[in-house]
Homo-oligomer: A and B are copies of this chain.
């Protein structure tokens, strides 16, 4: 359920205008609310490493983008939040499938938002990566 602060049409407009890299990766925002997000990275040759695995930088980009959506869902689109830290544990090689990132904000303060992002290959129970991210929220 999209958050009241950020209706779906508004989100789509922002992403088209300000996040063209989102189209480069093919990210699909499947769901979001004030503090959560679920984003899909379609399996595609562009993100594949030798050996067939989706690359670390693509997982990083997915986690960062999903966190950005969850923060925007919580504070609205006016603010330009920026990533201050991302820490990724790569746990296992993902299956050859789309990747799904699920974000949960653990803290939404006046100045910092902290979230964790679980990344799985679609259909898998086990995580292929576990990410913790911090965003700095600008004064309003």
Contacts and interface: CB of A to CB of B under 8 A. Distances in A.
A89 interface: yes
**Copies of this protein in the complex:** 4
Given A20-B50, A56-B86, A85-B85, A114 B132 contact: no
A140 interface: no
The CB with the most chain B CB atoms within 10 A, among A19, A127, A132, A136, is that of: A132
Interface in A87-104: 87-92
A72 to B, nearest CB: 14
A91 B107 contact: yes
A50 B18 contact: yes
Interface of A: 18-21, 49-50, 55-58, 60-61, 64, 82-92, 106-107, 111-112, 114, 116, 126-127, 130, 132, 134, 136
